[in-house]
Structure 1
Amino acid sequence: MQSYDVFLSFTWSDIDEVLKLERALQAAGLRVFRDSEGIREFEGITGGLDAALTSSTVLLAYYSRRFPTRYACQWELTFAFLAAQAAGDPRRRVLVVNPESDGNHIAPVELQDAAYFGRPRDERDRVRIAGRVAEMVRAAGTPLGAVRSAAPMLPRLLRPRRFVGRYQELWRIHSALHSRELPPATPRTSSALAVVRGFAGLGKTSLAEQYAFLFRDAFPGGVRWIGLFGQDDEAGAVVRFHTGLRTIAAELGADVTGLPPDEVRAGVARRIEADRRSQLWVIDDVPGELSADVLDEFVMPTSFVRTVLTTRSGNPEWPAPVVELTGLTEDEGAVLYTEIAGSDDPVEVSAVRRLVERCGGHPIVLTSVVTALRDGRGAIDETGFADVLDSVKGDAVDVLARAVGECSPTARRILQIAAAISRAPVPPELVRRVLPGEPVAGAVAELARRALLIHLGTEWDIHALVCDAAGVDDDLTRRTASIVLELIGDTGRFHAHAAALAVHDCVPAHQRARLQRSGLEWFREQGEVVAARAVAKRILAAEGVRAADRVAAAAALADSGDFAEAAGVCRPLVSAGTPEDAFRARLTCAHALDQLGRYADADPLWPGHVPESLPEREKIEARVFMAVAKRMRGRFRDAIGLLDAADDPRARLELARLKIITGELKAARTLADAVIREHDTPDHERHPLRLEAIGVYAEAEMSLDFTEFKTRDEGWDALEARLRSARDSLAGLLGNESPLTLAAGVRCVRTSVTRGRPKRALREFSEFEPRVRRIFGEHHPLYHWLRYSSAQARAQLNQYEDVIDILRPLLEKQRESIGPYHPDTMRTQLDLGISLALTGDKDAAVPLVVEADRRIGEALGWRSELRNRAGVTRALMNLPVIVWRLFPYIDVLFGKKNPEED
């Protein structure tokens, strides 16, 4: 293979000056490679050009203002820079001739800081440049070679795309990610993370793709891509990220089955550390409201991963440099026009520049307008092209509406289908069914060429701005709704599309109801409580909705913790509709009232049996609800009898709670762990059942250690972290005021007590107590648990008088609301007896402990964990208080204070 001393990189607009420079280099005895054919924008790099650059020793760039707008120039300079960077200072291999008056257009910053040559004015200047190049060739001694990444290329990086300019932004990303490796003159920012920020449609994703493609050789470990698909809420973004993370773990060969998200993240990081090759991760479409703490989850804990985030707004608290993305410049817009329209007529280019200024350089607008002009060139007088460009006015949606109007009829209908199904990806199968016999393939190619559609795996993605511009067609929307209803039954897919179509008033009411039901059932089954709640509210807001649909909507509200609203919807329906509908209404209303602690209101509504005519899934749900009601009222044996034969995760989870109460703690852990593993899939990481199961498992684990009269920290840190992560997930899904979030928060307070951290527990108590009291009232078991936990924390601080002041009124409330035989009541009574004894009032303490011991035996049997505690407590009552400290029991009961607590 032929080798060269110098590779000349340039744009063809500068060919006259470049030819003079080439002759000077050759006169100095240097072997020069200059591309004699040229590469049009968006064409591939030829093998000959690749080989020539690899075998050259130095790259000399004639860096005019047009240089960074040309794809071939970008590729050549990037290739040479990375190869030279791998061997040391890239400025020893890359030399710049800048014919402009300043260097603001030069990137990367290392070359901008270098003492580049200005425009050669005469032959003497060109000889001087040639001499400097010869010195660099002699000093280097060997060809540039190639720093090749052996990692397979992501398919999305290989798809055709129009990308003009943005060279400065590409290098800003690279400099931010590699600041530790840059010369001292370069400002240090981050070596792990860069944020690309810009308005909708400005090309953030395309910029990230272009960076990943051009700079792939800097990341021999490969490129990973996680798309968050415009999730507006923090919880949805986290779910999408961890879904992508599990996919990457599988690609890396890491077995993460059954692991929680934080352990999956750590396992992936260990794999990457072991491989010891740099990787690039792109997290696309991150919501700007994401907190800095959650953002930290998205950055892998290893120096071998560099991360690029794209976002529309971004949080100023994010600890990362920001690459601001604005519209295309006038120069870039002119290049885009020339490449698409095939014309560099000065009048037309001037009109394009004016268009760039009016539309803010919006890439989708420019591409669509220019493509439409090119396609209609035969119908437009060429002398009138500038007039047509000047006539384009309005904002981005207005301009795109005009571009959409110039598409073929089939292409327009595809966009209108996309608009009807909202932000869901467009499945080709759906479009072909809605548009039978139409030239769909050609229309898709047309839309891709106009930058109005991109391929996303096997589906199509159409930007929200384009959908807004296309609008919806009522007839087409109705046809799409009918097809989706058919496809749901055939494939089990399209439930998100059904929910989106159900909001269109043009869809017949009976179809809209079916679409809503389908979406609601699917979202409930998948544990997507937020999406299900949104559909439920739309159902309840409609007129003429049948009773069965209103009850189903109420059940979805109850799933998301909206118990008061669910009860309000169902109460008028307890005698309406069919017997099955009436049963569902009574069941849902009673369950919601129970969750609010309104047992007296719920008691008359609880059904006595489950109708055999119900589907099996509903029978199981009914038995679970009825078992929960019996557990809340202290009727544990009856509750277990309803669940023993049920093979369902909801039944297993409730059975685990009952096993904790009856002292079968190992069985409880096994059941809860099975539910966690059953939902250990990327799509179910925030499933409410999984989050509940984590809490039940933790309760069983920590109760088990009490019965063994020991405390241990091994494994508890991870367990506590999972509990708090579950609480934060619920807060992200449902808000801080949600009953489900508050319940998870109370569990975390109790965990702080269990870990012997009373001060932290009391701080958390003061945070949660006002909200729990406001939402549930002082007679709710959740409030009782919070008060009981605060008493335990006070006991750990030896503040027994305060403990008595908390437990005495709490015991009266529990006797009134859940009864004297309930284990929670008996636990409070036991601890009150202990505290009274420790303050010297054994006369008041003994009757409380004796009564509690008897009632626990009657309610739970004589082998339960709580009965063991009662028995030991009763035995201690026969000894002087001063002797009690010889036993570890008191420390175990209240939880020994951790000496390292902050």
Structure 2
Amino acid sequence: MTDDRFDVFLCSADDALEKALRTGGMRVFRDRAFDDFDTGTAAALAGSRVLLAQCPRDPPTAFAARLTAAFTAALRHGDPADRVLTIGGQSPVKPLCRGSAALPDLVRRVRRKVAGTRGPLGPAPRPPHWFTGRHTAFWTVHNGLDGGRLLLHGLPGVGKTALAERYACLYRDSFGGGVLRTGPFGHLDPGDFLPAFHLDLARAVAEHWATDVTGLDLRRLSLLLADRITAAGEQVLLLVDDVPAGLPSTVLDRVAPGSARTLVTSRFAQSWAAPSVHLPGLTPEESAGLLPPGGDAVRRFALRCDGHPMTVRATAFAVRDAAGPLTDAVLAERPDLAPEAIRDVLRGLAPTARDLLRLGAVLAPAPLPQDVARAALGSPDPAEFEAAVAELAGHGFAQRSGELLRLQGLAVEVAQGESGALLGEAPDAVLAGLAREAPGSGLVRHARSLADHAPAHRLRLLRPVAAAHERHGDPAAAGEIHATILASGEATSADFAAAARVEIDCGLHAEAAEHAREALVLATTDAERHTASLTAAQALDCRGDYAEADVFRHAEHPPETGEARYRAALATAVAQRLRGRPQPALLEPLLDELEPGTLKDELALEHARSLLRAGHPQRASDVAAAVVANQHAAGRERHPRCEDAEFVRAEAVLTLDLAGLPADREDRAAELRALEQGYRLRYGAEHALTLTAATFADRALLALGRPRHALAALAATEQVVLRVLGDDHPLGYRIRHGRGLAHALLREFDRQAELVEAVLGPQIRLLGRTHPETLESRLDLGLALALSGRGPLEEARALVDDAARDTAGALGVSGELTAKARAAKQVVRLPASFTSALFAVERLVWPGA
């Protein structure tokens, strides 16, 4: 039994603190120098009730060893935070205080902790294998994460993942919001990394906060993560395990949202603006702690194998029954490379354990439900399977986490090289698991890996992978999977229709229309024909080919019951709005039939858009506000539907507020800026109303003949829009069109043409060919092409004539846009030499415009 000699073991260079503790009636052992952790110092720590440390930012090795010894000793008494007391933030437990505290208050806190103990710490037990050799590494990682993100790299099997997970456990008090674990991803090509990370992060966020994250792209998912952390008021640790080599720094930046501490592990050093920690093998002394006694022979062997933990562990297992101390002769027979050492262990495993590792070669290196793993092996006897898992875990080749099993990557690679991969019943087992589990399951990663090893099951495995990417707002990744499915020659009508739907989201409308036609040809049921026709009509609508779209829409016969009826009505309402003929009454009776939920919100959002386009801003605002409220109540505030509803409401409210503004351009511009400032103060700089009003106010500078000021203001607003909404939002297109107008005022028609050409396609898709903003873009593009001399003048004239005809049809013969259309038709009919001369004269007359 350890003598109760001291109340406080003090790691501090502060004389005043020691004196205050002694004056407060406590027995203090002052650890004055960071010398060797000798027997006397260790005994003093064992005989102390608590350890109190002032944590330096860069702790010496011996300092970390003291805290580690105290921590492991305190674990036997319950919560280590009751025994290991620190001042400052760099500690494995919640600090007693972070900043400066008055000494009397600090002494009172320490006295309360001492009074709550029932005896001294006692000697630290021999640290478990995961702790050996990692005392200072924990501290280095913790300090490095102060900047928000850290890269931990080292050889395969050296213990990066184990250290990261153990760090997350030991320093749990620093991450009150919990830990999100993703990966490993090291088997992926760099180009496949972000889509896989997106799916895994979505799974982790959904599980951690029990929230629905479907429909959220990676940007919105990161914003949701930030929202959750802010709301909780506690820090979160994000583990990104084993990223591929050669990732660009911009990609790594995307996996490290500033809201969370992010710890990335990799087998390779990465070019990234973040602290980097190399994890070496064990030192000879640390290796000796894992092996039977052997003195210098053990140390020499540790040097020979570079202290690789898996080599040391395999050797320890092989010589566990050796009689007497280990000698050089005994250790000379042991391999000093990890793969060879692992191979020796594999030969002694039971057949089911070896098969489980071989199975890992065709799966993703991700956690796998144990029932799926057992089914993949052909459902061996439960006791036999349990024994195999326990055997692998005992050798460090597998790790359990609840019902999940994770196989060690290096052991899987060696097993595959030794006996080959094992497919077994894995495809059927994974597909059955996918059918049972909720969307977003981690089994999707296994399905994607299996598709490369099981040609007979390839399409069945790829379909849920594509659906998962689409469900989580990554149509580009889904499109790549669909392209593989379509190229197989075995695609069905449903495959072609699904590919077309994704291509619409990617802006590939011509391809989508073609694949929807293929889906219609292959259709064998009325439901398939209905889906294919509707998809083809939507693709053609997005291109502005309304006449051809109507052929498909009128050819199909929507079902009279079920969700498909509402979907068909929704598609018709969208089509009418895109044609400039909004019909709010079309959806209103259907909304009364529907129960609250996702489908009703979809129809209500389109109803709000139609009301706004039809000139009913107040009703549009009310309907959109109800959608926003529903989405917030469901925890879907970052969903695109909620975002779109907020901006429909913002435009409706702004339309009402603009109605009373003066006609004078100077006064109107000033009032717009005042509106923006008012919204900013009331709702914040990133609110939909603020950003919409800012865009209107920035564009008002163009009417005042101040293009350079407008360019600067629009650029600043665009940066916020890009960060909050991404680069595919209608507000961003409005800003870019405004920048094009500014360049036109500066006679930079080439630049205007580039900007307007880039936004015209998305405007047609989202707003329709006859929306006022789209009509203006069509006119401006024709003018810019004519005045810049880019391309044949006949093409520019055709663009302007077409836009002018639609403008007259949609808006009538009066109004600013109609007048602009008439003027544009005259300008593009001037001779090319005349327009060039006119351009040159303008440059001379207004050089500073």
CA distance in 1, matches of 2:353, 2:749: 59
Q: Determine if the alignment matches structure 1 residue 816 to structure 2 residue 779.
A: no
The code of the aligned residue for 2:178 comes to R
CA distance in 2, matches of 1:563, 1:54: 72
1:404-440: CA deviation from partner (whole Å, max 9, x where unpaired):
5554333333334444342442112323444341433
**Residues 777 and 385 of structure 1: is their aligned pair in 2 closer, same or farther, counting only changes over 3 Å?**
same
- How far apart are 1:549 and its partner, in Å? 2.5
The normalised TM-score by structure 2 is 0.62
- How far apart are 1:522 and its partner, in Å? 5.2
Unaligned runs of 5+ in 2: 12-26, 32-36, 55-59, 92-106, 118-126, 186-191, 212-219, 662-670, 693-717, 789-794, 827-849
Q: Determine if the alignment matches structure 1 residue 831 to structure 2 residue 831.
A: no
Q: Which residue, 587, 597, 609 being the options, matches 2:534? A: 587
**Residues 270 and 527 of structure 1: is their aligned pair in 2 closer, same or farther, counting only changes over 3 Å?**
closer
1:460 maps to which residue? 405
**Residues 727 and 84 of structure 1: is their aligned pair in 2 closer, same or farther, counting only changes over 3 Å?**
closer
Q: Determine if the alignment matches structure 1 residue 657 to structure 2 residue 609.
A: yes
- How far apart are 1:661 and its partner, in Å? 0.5
CA distance in 2, matches of 1:384, 1:622: 80
- How far apart are 1:397 and its partner, in Å? 6.6
Q: Determine if the alignment matches structure 1 residue 298 to structure 2 residue 229.
A: no
Q: Which residue, 444, 453, 459 being the options, matches 2:389? A: 444
**Residues 233 and 694 of structure 1: is their aligned pair in 2 closer, same or farther, counting only changes over 3 Å?**
farther
Is the partner of 2:284 in helix, strand or coil?
A: helix
CA distance in 1, matches of 2:129, 2:500: 47
Q: Which residue, 351, 354, 358 being the options, matches 2:301? A: 351
The code of the aligned residue for 2:816 comes to D
1:191-590 equivalences under 5 Å are: 195-198=151-154, 201-212=157-168, 219=174, 222=176, 224-230=178-184, 265=226, 268-269=229-230, 272=233, 281=237, 283-285=239-241, 289=248, 291=250, 298-300=257-259, 307=261, 309-312=263-266, 318=273, 320=274, 322-331=275-284, 334-335=287-288, 338-339=289-290, 341-344=291-294, 346-356=296-306, 362-364=308-310, 366-367=312-313, 369-370=314-315, 373=318, 385-390=330-335, 393=337, 404=346, 406-434=348-376, 435-438=379-382, 439-471=384-416, 477-492=423-438, 497=443, 500-501=446-447, 503-504=450-451, 507=454, 509=456, 511-521=457-467, 523-525=469-471, 527-580=473-526, 581-590=528-537
**Residues 592 and 315 of structure 1: is their aligned pair in 2 closer, same or farther, counting only changes over 3 Å?**
farther
Matched residue pairs, number? Answer: 683
The code of the aligned residue for 1:588 comes to T
**Residues 542 and 192 of structure 1: is their aligned pair in 2 closer, same or farther, counting only changes over 3 Å?**
closer
**Residues 328 and 728 of structure 1: is their aligned pair in 2 closer, same or farther, counting only changes over 3 Å?**
same
CA distance in 1, matches of 2:432, 2:202: 32
CA distance in 1, matches of 2:198, 2:586: 36
Residue pair 1:484, 1:494 contacting (<8 A) in 2 also = no
CA distance in 1, matches of 2:386, 2:278: 33
1:590-669 equivalences under 5 Å are: 590-599=537-546, 601-612=548-559, 616-637=562-583, 640=586, 644-645=590-591, 647-669=599-621
- How far apart are 1:479 and its partner, in Å? 1.4
Residue pair 1:590, 1:603 contacting (<8 A) in 2 also = yes
1:629-677: CA deviation from partner (whole Å, max 9, x where unpaired):
3322223229935984574444333333212211333443455455566
Is the partner of 2:264 in helix, strand or coil?
A: strand
Is the partner of 1:545 in helix, strand or coil?
A: coil
- How far apart are 1:463 and its partner, in Å? 4.8
1:473-523: CA deviation from partner (whole Å, max 9, x where unpaired):
9996351222334444445568653674365366473x5444444444555
CA distance in 2, matches of 1:285, 1:71: 25
- How far apart are 1:146 and its partner, in Å? 6.0
CA distance in 1, matches of 2:622, 2:391: 57
Is the partner of 2:405 in helix, strand or coil?
A: strand
Residue pair 2:359, 2:423 contacting (<8 A) in 1 also = yes
1:171 maps to which residue? 139
Residue pair 1:656, 1:669 contacting (<8 A) in 2 also = yes
The code of the aligned residue for 1:747 comes to L
CA distance in 2, matches of 1:74, 1:299: 30
Residue pair 1:657, 1:668 contacting (<8 A) in 2 also = yes
CA distance in 1, matches of 2:639, 2:264: 27
1:533-560: CA deviation from partner (whole Å, max 9, x where unpaired):
3432231122333333333333233344
Is the partner of 1:54 in helix, strand or coil?
A: strand
The normalised TM-score by structure 1 is 0.59
1:53-64 equivalences under 5 Å are: 53-54=48-49
**Residues 474 and 164 of structure 1: is their aligned pair in 2 closer, same or farther, counting only changes over 3 Å?**
closer
The code of the aligned residue for 1:355 comes to C
The code of the aligned residue for 1:353 comes to L
**Residues 602 and 269 of structure 1: is their aligned pair in 2 closer, same or farther, counting only changes over 3 Å?**
closer
1:770 maps to which residue? 754
Q: Percent of aligned pairs with the same residue?
A: 22
2:87 maps to which residue? 86
1:14 maps to which residue? none
Residue pair 1:242, 1:261 contacting (<8 A) in 2 also = no
- How far apart are 1:162 and its partner, in Å? 1.7
Query: What is the CA RMSD across the aligned residues, in angstroms?
Result: 6.2
The code of the aligned residue for 2:532 comes to A
Q: Which residue, 747, 756, 761 being the options, matches 2:731? A: 747
Is the partner of 1:612 in helix, strand or coil?
A: coil
**Residues 584 and 836 of structure 1: is their aligned pair in 2 closer, same or farther, counting only changes over 3 Å?**
closer
**Residues 7 and 719 of structure 1: is their aligned pair in 2 closer, same or farther, counting only changes over 3 Å?**
closer
The code of the aligned residue for 1:831 comes to E
1:853 maps to which residue? none
CA distance in 1, matches of 2:501, 2:316: 51
**Residues 211 and 519 of structure 1: is their aligned pair in 2 closer, same or farther, counting only changes over 3 Å?**
closer
CA distance in 2, matches of 1:607, 1:264: 44
- How far apart are 1:239 and its partner, in Å? 8.1
Is the partner of 1:420 in helix, strand or coil?
A: coil
2:98 maps to which residue? none
**Residues 89 and 607 of structure 1: is their aligned pair in 2 closer, same or farther, counting only changes over 3 Å?**
closer
Residue pair 2:9, 2:48 contacting (<8 A) in 1 also = yes
CA distance in 1, matches of 2:578, 2:502: 22
Unaligned runs of 5+ in 1: 10-28, 34-38, 40-46, 91-139, 151-158, 178-189, 252-258, 274-278, 732-740, 796-800, 845-902
1:859-881: CA deviation from partner (whole Å, max 9, x where unpaired):
xxxxxxxxxxxxxxxxxxxxxxx
1:110 maps to which residue? none
The code of the aligned residue for 1:660 comes to L
Residue pair 2:466, 2:478 contacting (<8 A) in 1 also = yes
Is the partner of 1:571 in helix, strand or coil?
A: helix
1:344-395: CA deviation from partner (whole Å, max 9, x where unpaired):
3543542342122xxxx5545654x3365357979xx9987524433x54xx
The code of the aligned residue for 2:555 comes to G
1:571-600: CA deviation from partner (whole Å, max 9, x where unpaired):
344333315334433332332233233445
CA distance in 1, matches of 2:231, 2:370: 39
Residue pair 1:659, 1:665 contacting (<8 A) in 2 also = yes
Residue pair 1:791, 1:803 contacting (<8 A) in 2 also = no
